[in-house]
Amino acid sequence: MSALSQRRVLLVIGGGIAAYKALDLIRRLKERGAAVTPVMTRAAGEFVTPLSVGALAATKVYSDLFDREDEQDVGHIRLAREHDLVIVAPTTADRMAQLANGLADDLAGAVLLATRAPVLMAPAMNPAMWEHPATRRNHQRLLADGVQFVGPDRGEMAERGEAGIGRMAEPLAIVAAAETLVATVKRPLQGLLAIVTSGPTHEPIDPVRYIANRSSGRQGHAIAEALRKAGATVTLVSGPVSLPDPDGMSVVHVETADEMRGAVEASLPADIAVFVAAVADWRVASESAQKIKKNGGGPPQLTLAENPDILASIGHHPRRPALVIGFAAETDDLLDNARRKLAKKGADAIFANDVSPAGGVMGGADNTLRLVTADGVEDWPKLAKAEAAARLVAWIVRRMGRGEDR
C-alpha cells in the first residue's frame, strides 16, 4: 500500500508552462489512494483550466483568497489545516521568493504560510532564473525552513534552443518524493481507534416536522479530521449536516438520537471517543404517521420522552474507550454544568463552550472552549474550529501518552 493511501494532498498549481503536468500528477496521486484538493494561482489558469483540473481531482478547485463563500469559515486556514501534505507543482521563481520572504497576497501564499503540513516544491523555470543568485538564496532559505524539493531536472526548455537545469520533475518522481516525505511524518495516534459524533439529531414529530438542536457539525467534523491526521482510524457518526464527508474515515449517517447511540455502540471497541454532536434531549413519545394539520382547535398536545444520554451510556459502558470526551454547550452556569456532567457521565474531560446567541458559536467559524477535567479548568482562547480541533487532538496525544517520549 502506498504511503499516500487515504492521505489528503493539497496541490498548488503555479503559473508556468509545466502546469500541464499537474493534470497527470493529480491522476498519479489518486492512483495511490490520495485525495487531492487543487489550488490554482491566477497565472495557472492561463495554462490549464479549472474545469480540467476539477474533473481529474473530482473536487472543487480553489483560487480566490477573497471568495465570500469559502472565507466565511476562514477557508485558507481550513485548507491549510485539513491536509497531510502540500505539493507546489510547478513552483515558479516568484512563488519561491514569496514564501522565502513570508508574503501571502493570494490564496496559495496564505495557505503555504498557514500550513503545518510538510511542503514539497517542484521548481520549474528557465535555467537562468534557477541559477540567479536571488533564486539560489531563496532555495537555501526554504530548505532551512524545512521545505522539501524535488528537481528541477536538466532538459530542454519551452523556449527554443534553451536547455539546462530548470525542467519540472516528472509526475512519477514527484509522487515518489511525496511518498517518502509522508512516510517520515510522525502520526502519534497510529493504531488507535476513535469515534466522533457530530452535528444535530432530528427527532420527528410527523413526516415533515422535527425537534432539533442548532449545529452545523463543523467542530465535530474538524475534530474527526484532526484525529485522522494524527494517525487514528476514525469512525465519524454524523447527524444531518450540509458538510461533505471527510476523506479517509468511515462515516455513518444518522437522523435520531437512538440511531446515533446504536451507531456509536456498533463502532465499539475504540480507544478514543469524542462526543461533539448536539443531541436533542427530547423526542415526541409517539410520532404521527400523517402531517399534523391546524384545525382551529389550538396547537396539538405533544407528549415528550427523554432521549438516551449517549455520553453517559458510553462513559459507563462495559467496553468503555480508554478516553471519553464530551462537549457541554451551555448558555449559563457554564463551569458548574460542565463539572456536573464530568462527574455524572463518566467522562475524562468536558469541553465547555458558551453557546449564547451573542457568541455566534452555533454554526459559526470560531469556538472558545474551556477544558474541564478532574485536575481543574483550562481556558482556551478563541480559535477557528480547525485550530481548536488541532489543539484538542494535541491534548489527546499527551493524555494518551503518545507524545515524543513514547
Helix, strand, coil share (%) of the chain residues, nearest 5: 35, 25, 40
Helix (H, G, I), strand (E, B) or coil at 259: helix
- Cα(406)–Cα(392) distance, integer angstroms: 19
- Report, as an integer, the average pLDDT of 192-198: 97
CB 351 within 8 A of CB 371: yes
Percent with pLDDT over 90 in the chain: 60
CB 179 within 8 A of CB 221: no
Reported confidence tier of residue 142, pLDDT bands at 50, 70, 90: very high
| Backbone phi and psi for residue 401, each to the nearest 5 degrees, phi listed first | 65, 35
Q: Would you list which residues are annotated within the binding site for CTP?
A: 281, 291, 308-311, 327, 341, 345
Reported confidence tier of residue 335, pLDDT bands at 50, 70, 90: confident
Q: What is the pLDDT of residue 359?
A: 53
Report field, pTM of the whole predicted structure over 0.75: no
Helix (H, G, I), strand (E, B) or coil at 263: helix
The x, y and z cell numbers of residue 349, run together, are 474531560
- Cα(150)–Cα(123) distance, integer angstroms: 8
Question: What are residue 349's DSSP bridge partners?
Answer: 325
Residue 333 or 13, more confident: 13
Reported confidence tier of residue 68, pLDDT bands at 50, 70, 90: low
Q: What is the pLDDT of residue 161?
A: 67
Helix (H, G, I), strand (E, B) or coil at 269: coil
CB 353 within 8 A of CB 370: yes
Q: Tens digit of pLDDT for each residue in 53-65?
A: 999 999 999 988 7
Q: What is the pLDDT of residue 117?
A: 87
Q: Tens digit of pLDDT for each residue in 356-381?
A: 665 555 556 778 888 999 899 988 88
- Report, as an integer, the average pLDDT of 179-201: 90
| Domains, in order of start, for the chain | 8-183 (3.40.50.1950), 193-399 (3.40.50.10300)
Kind and range of the H or E run holding 252: strand 250-253
Active-site residue, 126 included: no
Q: What is the pLDDT of residue 73?
A: 47
Total residues found in the chain within this entry: 406
Res. 162: pLDDT tops 90: no
Reported confidence tier of residue 321, pLDDT bands at 50, 70, 90: very high
- Report, as an integer, the average pLDDT of 137-149: 94
Closest CA to 108 of 22, 2, 184, 173: 22
Residue 69 or 5, more confident: 5
Q: What is the pLDDT of residue 184?
A: 79
Question: What are residue 354's DSSP bridge partners?
Answer: 330
Res. 15: pLDDT tops 70: yes
Closest CA to 276 of 203, 223, 346: 223
Percent with pLDDT over 70 in the chain: 93
Q: Among 101, 138, 213, 337, which one carries the catalytic annotation?
A: 213
Res. 71: pLDDT tops 60: no
Q: What is the CA radius of gyration of the chain?
A: 24
Kind and range of the H or E run holding 282: strand 282-284
Q: What is the pLDDT of residue 284?
A: 92
Number of other residues whose CB lies within 10 A of the CB of residue 67: 13
- Three-point CA angle 6, 402, 394, nearest 5°: 75
Res. 11: pLDDT tops 50: yes
The x, y and z cell numbers of residue 136, run together, are 539560489
Helix (H, G, I), strand (E, B) or coil at 93: helix
Taken in order 245, 251, 254, 257, the sign of the CA dihedral is negative
